[in-house]
Amino acid sequence: MDYAELDSAINTLADLVERLRAPGGCPWDAKQTMHTVRMYLLEESYEVLDAVERGLPEELCAELGDLLFHIVFIAYLGEEKGEFDLVDVVEKIVEKMIRRHPHVFGNLKVENVEEVATNWAKIKKAEKNGAEREGSFLEQVPAALPALQRAHRLSERASKAGFDWADRAAVWKKVLEESGELREAVKKQDSREVGEEIGDLLFSLVNLARHWGLNAEDLLRMANRKFVRRFELMERKLSTAGTDLSEAAPDEMDEIWNEIKKDER
């Protein structure tokens, strides 16, 4: 990487954002606030994730650019309000990463990844204790995370305080318990209780995945992609047979779906 080119590119992007916000710039960009931009930031983050999962380097490069634009844009909004600027953003993350990697930038010796993670948690705790107010142990898990990912992070965070199941078998027992409670709620035909029990079962499944070293958000995204792949293949098979999806009988769709599953195995 050419650092002179990088310096020039970042400066050009910062100047571009300033031009967009300036009088005579873009009316749409000039109207934006941190509140209105936040959803675009979330959307761009998901598009980056999607490009990573699909293994498309050119698309990933473009999506990272879109995400970087929004980061620079929000930093400029902070500068306009006199709160912070892009230099502050960069300097603070550099300072934090140096502080949290004493085994790289200091004299601390670590033997493995587990020791790195343990030390990272200790440093974060020390940073929090130095703050004026320390909130709930779970407070730092963002509320805006997708629900499955937040459940993973909440339970992972709680486990660091010693609040967790002892092993995989214990979590599996909890999954079966919640499944039984859902079964009883369905028998009672109580939609409110069914909804609550589905939530409890989902949360316990998130923890089952976590204890297996997996992430439920990733697993559901993969399941979604598998469903789309199979559904699109079913559509093609129906079309080849001269049947439109809207005219296909449920039994016909089930038969093709099962054939697709069998072929994948």
Handedness of CA 24, 25, 28, 34 (dihedral sign): negative
* Each residue's pLDDT expressed in tens, for the chain with a length of 265 residues: 899 999 999 999 999 999 999 999 999 999 999 999 988 998 999 899 889 988 989 999 999 999 999 999 999 999 999 999 999 999 999 999 999 999 999 999 999 998 998 888 889 878 877 655 556 788 888 888 889 999 999 999 999 889 999 999 999 999 999 999 999 999 999 999 999 999 999 999 999 999 999 999 999 999 999 999 999 999 999 999 999 999 999 999 999 999 999 998 8
Q: Which of 40, 65, 99 is the last residue of a domain?
A: 99
Rounded to two decimals, the pTM is 0.67
Looking at residue 130, its pLDDT comes to: 61
Q: How many Å from the N-terminal Cα to the C-terminal Cα in the chain? A: 44
Q: Judge whether 136 lies within some domain.
A: no
Looking up residue 53, the CATH number of its domain turns out to be 1.10.287.1080
Q: Judge whether 133 lies within some domain.
A: no
Structural domain boundaries enclosing 30: 3-99
Looking at residue 125, its pLDDT comes to: 79
Overall number of domains in the chain: 3
Name the DSSP class of 72.
H
Q: Judge whether 164 lies within some domain.
A: yes
**Cα–Cα distance measured from residue 137 to residue 14, given in angstroms and rounded to the nearest whole number:** 37
